[in-house]
Chain A
Amino acid sequence: MTAAVIGLNFGTGYSSIGVVNKKGFADCIANEDGQRQIASALAFNGEEEYVGNQAKPQLVRNYKNTFTGFRNLLGEEFTENIPQPLLSAPVTNINGIPSYSFHAHGKDSSLSVKDVSVKFLQSLAKSAEEYMGKPIDGAVMSVPHSWSQHKRNALSEAAKAANIPLLDLIDDWAAGMSAYNEVLGAADSNVLVVDMGEYSTAVTTVAARQGLFTPLSHLSDASTGGQQLDHALVAHFAKEFTKQTKIAVPTQFSADLSENDRRALVKLSLACEQTKRSLTASNSAGIAIESLKDGADLSSQVNRLRFGILASKTFHAVGALAEKAVKAAELESEHIDKIVLIGGSSSLPSLTNVLAGIFQNAEILSSVDPDQAIAKGAAIQAQLLAARDVPDLPSATTEMTVNVTPHPIVLAGEGDENAVVVAKDTPLPARRIVAINPPHGKDSAVLELYQAKNEIKVVAPPPREKTDDSEDEEDDEPERIPVVVRSNKIASLQVAVKGDAPIILTVVVLDNASVEIKAAQDGQSPVTATVQAP
């Protein structure tokens, strides 16, 4: 009997639920409304209480009793410059705690940000329990990397109040890595995690070494997110509407908007969000709003290319952020091997194109839907924690430091040829086992291990033949190839060779960076060497 564990991605804009299904695979499930992306919203209307996507349409006519953006305020104190949600009920100050005042059940009442979060989390837990048909045994939730311990504690408390047995809180990016554990578990790669959410974007560079993840740098930008893409579409369609009907529609929310204008803007924003989603899957998407303003309808189309142009500023901002993060990790863009996309807005193909242009050596992983990756990854982690292979895994919230290799260790080949055996930033102790084909027709081989440096080799393009058309100027840029360059020798082993069976080389780097080497063909007595660290 497998434990009923779930992963929750409680986002600012949208949330999702990951569960481990009966076959033992993580799956992102739909709630009762059939939504996998559940809007983080709560609304009251008279006697009714709406949670999730049902609450969103309430923004049009009932925005004073509709709450969004409460997750980010968890654990915060009320200050004057607290970010106020533009479309939903304003945050008010009740005893220094950010709260919402509303009118429901025929009377005025108020709920603190924590209470609203608890109500919302309860609905998520209920959906998960209904899916699994039994109570939740454990849950892992994800939080932004930038969250302080205080905010994390506030979320833990909210989860506790919602009767969710919380196993651990992990970073969003770590959940994304966890979702791709099968791909990343076997290899050494430098991974760039791009998390473009509804309200902010975060980029993390991670050294993934056979499933061990050490973050190298982390950058986030609260001014770039799915919202900006919506704004671009809103501006586009507002212009189109004005052109069609000669009725002006505001494109920016401000406090002095008339009720009519506000309603039109909300309608347009909600519709643009849908259109944006459709563009993820199809090449063009329509928008149709009845009675947008003054009884006039809007019906139009936008294709992916047009959207790409409209939103290029936002996508390039994400690209620039990613480049900055890679620089901060003291890497070159060519060193990035894999890109993991998480967060609802990351699934847009335009973003993939921008990233593919910058990180030319990187493979953009796409087997997991970006907007489900966090929830799935959290569910996988929950499964791992529930199984408890190790008696006491430390919680993700405790700071863990570990020794890592400062340089790559390479095996020298003929000439300048090198093969990386132990990559840079590999957590210690580490072991790598490699198989090498012995030199053909010889009875011994020399294995030489070096410390090395990662460098970029700039290769000037071969001189072109002079042709009249000089259109593809950019092809003449020098090619940049990541290489490893030997610096100092560690050890040299002479291995006897019989036949063509591969030589198995085992390199163990101990916690103090001492290196133990063992090499032999299968079945032969191994040649060993040990190099002590200073």
Chain B
Amino acid sequence: MSATQPITPISISLPVASTSAAPTTLSKPVQRKLVPVGGAYAAHARRQASGKTFDEDDAAVKAENERLAEEERKNQPEDDGVGEEPESKELLQTSDPKNYKALDMYAILGLSNLRYKATQDQIRLAHKKKILRHHPDKKAGRGGDANDDRFFKCVARALEILDNPERRKQFDSIDETYSDKIPDAKTKGDFFEVYGPVFDRESRFSETPVPSLGGADAPRDQVEEFYNAWYNFVSWRSFEWYDKEINEGSENRDDKRYTEKKNKSDRAQRKKEDNARVRTLVDNALAADPRMKKFRQDDKAAREAKKNKAKGITTDPKKAKEDEAIKAAQEAAAKEEQVKKDAASKANKATDKKAKEAARKNLSKSKKAIKQIVTDNNYFQPPGSTPSANDIELQLNELDLIANGLEPEETAELKKSLDGTPDVAAKREAIVSSAKKLLDVGKVESGRFQQFV
């Protein structure tokens, strides 16, 4: 809303008596372009849109401004004794700003009843009050020791930490006011009384709002939603607070790095443990939840009712039990059978595999043996004649081709057949037939075999 119109002072000496000139008519206005820029234009447009006169608009603006001011006042943080908790003598005297990690920041600001629930505004307000009260100069006025500004420094430190969202989270993570204990199966007492407060306590670490435990008569989807949310719980809890201080002055880089590394792993370890703790809590709760037990029973009853309906039998719990036992026995038998079958096929597969493996292993051996056989038989040349160098080379090359083209088992078979017959011609025939096989399959181009055809 724009400010009200300024009053322009004019310095002019007014005449005392009216001049004789008679009033005349006004001139007509002319038209010009107006640029819709600037705050004055907004006010002009507002008046045009509302059709209000200047005075009416002034009143409207004034009312609006008052309303805004009222709203502003309402939004101001309420001061109901924030930060005015009684300060114990112990707190005042033993708080040591140097050992700030041991301090209870909320207690120092007088917010120990609010703790993590304190708003930013409340923290700032409490800090303001505390520094006014504990400023060393004031202490001197009251006859205290003006040089003792330890608590004052603690107050400053508390604001430094709580006003920074990141550091506040670090402090809230390790706030010792709240126990980390979780109930287990041995814990006695009403489920809701035992677990309700624990979940409420843990929910403060959640990145997103999580539902609370609810009552004994909570509807099913609400309960399921609860466990779903808690199994997907993402915690912002972190453990930087326990970090060992890195000695900044230290010249020793290795030392520094070691500490850094150690801190990091410690944090990760703690975080892991904390996550496991929350998980256990949810597990325990789920196991102990009377509502879940009831839902399971309901489910079972519904299933049986459905089954019986399909069979057209009225519900007879005894018979149902017997049926179930029979069915279970059948299932068990079928399962056993299946297991046996599986084992058998597994064994088969294993033998096959073994054979293949062996063939592959022996491949080079077989290759060598074949070559040896060919060499021993004078390269299938008439006995007594010396095979030409060209023939030898070609034959060896072609043997390589054959051995590479054939599967390892086939190579092994070829070797076996070669070993099997003493007849030289038959041996050659075996090799030729292998070569032909390769040609037929197309693994080797025709014309590559000149010797073994």
Contact = CB atoms under 8 A, between A and B. Distances in A.
| Bound pair (A, B) | yes
Interface of A: 170-171, 174-175, 177-178, 181, 184-186, 207, 210-216, 381, 384, 389-396, 398-407, 411-414, 417-419, 421, 425, 427-429, 431-439, 442, 444-448, 451, 488-492, 494, 502, 504, 508, 511-515, 531-534
A384 B39 CA distance: 7
A413 B36 contact: no
Given A435-B8, A437-B11, A178 B38 contact: yes
B9 interface: yes
A184 B38 CA distance: 10
Given A400-B35, A432-B8, A446-B15, A407 B23 contact: no
A405 B39 CA distance: 21
A513 B26 contact: yes
B31 A412 contact: no
Given A211-B39, A435-B8, 17 more contacts: A170-B37, A184-B38, A207-B32, A214-B33, A399-B33, A401-B31, A402-B32, A404-B29, A412-B19, A439-B13, A489-B24, A492-B19, A504-B7, A512-B29, A513-B26, A513-B28, A514-B26
Nearest to A383: B39
Contact of A185 (B24, B34, B39): B39
A107 to B, nearest CB: 42
Contacts of B38: 177-178, 181, 184-185, 211-213, 381, 384
Contacts of B47: 429
Contacts of B37: 170, 174-175, 177-178, 213, 381, 396
B27 A407 contact: yes
A12 B180 CA distance: 65
B290 to A, nearest CB: 46
A214 B29 contact: no
A389 B49 CA distance: 12
A394 B45 contact: yes
B45 to A, nearest CB: 5
Interface string B45-65: 111010001100000000000
Contacts of B258: none
A514 B13 CA distance: 26
A427 B33 CA distance: 9
Contact of A490 (B8, B11, B23): B23
Interface string B241-270: 000000000000000000000000000000
B31 A394 contact: no
Contacts of B42: 384, 389-390, 393
Nearest to B23: A489
A532 B25 CA distance: 8
A394 B36 contact: yes
A428 B13 contact: no
* Residue picked from A171, A214, A392, most chain B C-beta under 10 Å: A214
B16 interface: yes
A444 to B, nearest CB: 7
A444 B177 CA distance: 79
B13 A531 contact: no
Given A381-B37, A446-B16, A212 B44 contact: yes
B402 to A, nearest CB: 49
Interface residues of B toward A: which range?
35 or more
A394 B23 CA distance: 39
Given A210-B5, A400-B35, A448-B19, A435 B10 contact: yes
Contact of B27 (A214, A215, A417, A451): A451
Contact of B6 (A186, A393, A445): A186
B18 interface: yes
B17 interface: yes
Interface in B111-170: none
Contacts of B54: 429, 431, 508
A513 B31 CA distance: 12
A331 B16 CA distance: 34
B29 A406 contact: yes
Given A177-B38, A402-B32, A427-B34, A413 B14 contact: yes
A178 B37 CA distance: 7
A402 B15 contact: no
Given A212-B40, A394-B45, A488-B24, A171 B14 contact: no
Contacts of A511: 29
6 contacts: A174-B35, A413-B14, A435-B8, A488-B25, A490-B24, A504-B7
A-B pairs with lowest CB-CB distance, top 3: A211-B40, A403-B29, A413-B12
Contacts of B49: 390-392
Nearest to B24: A488
B121 to A, nearest CB: 16
A433 B29 contact: no
B254 to A, nearest CB: 37
A435 B35 CA distance: 29
A406 B15 contact: no
B2 interface: yes
A316 B316 CA distance: 111
Nearest to B9: A435
Given A210-B5, A396-B37, A401-B33, A489 B44 contact: no
A184 B41 CA distance: 12
Contact of A492 (B23, B25, B39, B44): B23
Contacts of B36: 393-396, 398, 400
Contacts of B10: 411, 419, 421, 434-436
Contact of A444 (B16, B21, B22, B33): B16
Contacts of A215: 32-33, 35
Nearest to B22: A489
B39 A181 contact: yes
B32 A404 contact: yes
Contact of B15 (A389, A413, A428, A489): A413
A412 B21 CA distance: 12
Contact of A417 (B12, B21, B22, B29): B12
Contacts of A399: 33
Given A429-B47, A436-B14, A400 B19 contact: no
B1 interface: yes
A434 B32 CA distance: 25
Contacts of B46: 389-390
B30 interface: yes
B15 A425 contact: no
B7 A534 contact: no
Given A435-B8, A492-B23, A214 B32 contact: yes
B15 A414 contact: yes
A413 B15 CA distance: 6
A395 B11 CA distance: 40
* Residue picked from B10, B11, B21, B53, most chain A C-beta under 10 Å: B10
A169 to B, nearest CB: 11
* Residue picked from B26, B33, B43, B47, most chain A C-beta under 10 Å: B26
Given A178-B38, A185-B39, A211-B39, A515 B32 contact: no
B10 to A, nearest CB: 5
B31 A396 contact: no
B12 A436 contact: yes
A491 B23 contact: yes
Given A413-B12, A448-B19, A494-B18, A433 B33 contact: no
* Residue picked from B6, B22, B34, B54, most chain A C-beta under 10 Å: B34
B9 to A, nearest CB: 5
A527 to B, nearest CB: 13
A515 B26 CA distance: 9
Nearest to A493: B18
Nearest to B64: A389
A216 B30 CA distance: 12
A509 to B, nearest CB: 8
Contacts of B31: 401-404
Nearest to B29: A403
A212 B41 contact: yes
* Residue picked from A384, A390, A436, most chain B C-beta under 10 Å: A390
A176 to B, nearest CB: 10
Contacts of A514: 26
